[in-house]
Amino acid sequence: MFGFGQKENIELTPYLSLAVASIYMVSADGELADEEMGQLISMFGGDDSIIENSVEYIKQNDNLETNISKINEMLNREQKEIMLINLLDILLADGDADENEKALFFMFSTAFGFEQSELEPYFDIISKKNNLGIFQ
């Protein structure tokens, strides 16, 4: 599926930053749930190269705080909000918000200048969206 190999230095772009942040989120709890991988695949339309490039970018630039800072500087407020919504969807995709995942999410949201109260409506909506057990 993924042809990971050493690549030249990869330049961070807004789209790649979404993939980088998403990779951080799916790996925050040390497990890659099927729901989280499915979320990644659907987010990027099966574009394996963006996922490969994001993994390679993280390998080349492995400091989380520095990467969050670079992403923060690159994106405008609307892009940051959309990124946080997508990260939240990944965080809640498997129905379990692990402490490491929550901590990572709040690292991004704090760096981006969002108050928790601004994000509460998204928590509620995405939690409901992912509560498919109610149909069983």
Q: Indicate the residue type of 33.
A: A
Would you state the pLDDT for residue 43?
87
Helix (H, G, I), strand (E, B) or coil at 56: helix
- Compute how many other C-beta atoms are within 10 angstroms of the C-beta atom of residue 68: 20
Please report, for the chain, the start and end positions of each structural domain, with discontinuous segments joined by +.
Answer: 14-130
pTM of the model: 0.85
For the segment 43-77, what is each residue's pLDDT rounded down to a tens digit? Answer: 888 788 998 999 899 999 989 999 999 999 999 99
Would you state the pLDDT for residue 47?
83
Q: How sure is the predictor about 1, in pLDDT bands with cuts at 50, 70 and 90?
A: very low
> Rounded to a whole number, what is the distance in angstroms from the first to the last CA of the chain?
32
> What topology is assigned to 14-130 in CATH?
TerB-like (1.10.3680)
pLDDT of 42 > 70? The answer is yes
